[in-house]
Amino acid sequence: MVPNQIEMLPFFPNLTGEEKDYLRKNMRTLEFQVGDLIYTPAKGSLGMVLVLKGGVRAYLTSEEGKKATIFRLREGEFCMLTMSCAMSQITFDVEVEASEDCSLLLLPTDVFAKVEQENIYVKNFSLELMMERMSSLVEGVQQMMFLNLEQRLASYLLDESSQRKSDTLHLTQEEIAENIGSAREAVSRTLKRMKEKELISVGRGCIHLLDKKDLYALLQ
């Protein structure tokens, strides 16, 4: 199974035969259920992962235990799950959990580091990946600073709708709150206002987007 999956790596065509064999021997797949903790700095480095199925989210936790999502990964996306997600200059701790039942392809830290040192294409991939994650972090901070709660919620719902290719989203208010860095009570009040404006309809664990055009207008 793994030998075929190695070809999904963007830098695969630029690996030597020896490097390909080395990765084939050392890569493995990991399975997680929704809510499982995949990575925490306390557990040490994990490595470079590719999401084969499902999704994961990376988040920060405040001293009060409040979680704020900084980026999410879906099928076909990569992340370096090492100390602070491979960004050694960042001093806060990032944790990663399964947001859905998921399957990950893992290239352990020491294995990736060896090939990265020897192959400029792998090095470039690592740097680009680090910049993508930094960009996601900055975008998250910008939303927290410059968008009000209604705008952040609208942005999140529209993004989920696009990713899931559905206007009906099976989400709990607690899940939404953690993903946009807010309190569940505040999310509940905002959803109620959106419902009154006929932008959405709300059921038990389910939200249906009724007027995406006006939801996008909230972000202008």
Q: Which amino acid is at 194?
A: M
pTM (two decimals): 0.71
Task: Evaluate whether 2-145 and 147-217 have a shared fold.
Answer: no
Query: What pLDDT score does 111 carry?
Result: 93
Q: Under CATH, which architecture does the 147-217 domain have?
A: Orthogonal Bundle (1.10)
Superfamily of chain region 2-145: Jelly Rolls (2.60.120.10)
Q: Which two tokens stand for residue 199?
A: 């932008």
- Closest CA relative to residue 72, chosen from 100, 106, 48, 46: 100
Domain definitions of the chain by residue range? 2-145, 147-217
- Asked if 23 and 12 count as a contact pair (C-beta separation under 8 A), the reply is no
Phi, psi of 49 (to 5 degrees): -125, 150
* Tens digit of each residue's pLDDT (9 = 90 or more) over 57-100: 888 776 666 777 778 888 899 988 764 444 444 445 678 889 88
- Number of Cβ within a 10 Å radius of residue 180: 23
Q: How far apart are CA 93 and CA 41, in angstroms?
A: 6
DSSP label at 197? T
Residue in the structure block whose two tokens are 């939303």: 143
* Tens digit of each residue's pLDDT (9 = 90 or more) over 127-182: 888 888 777 777 766 666 677 889 889 888 888 888 788 999 998 888 888 888 78
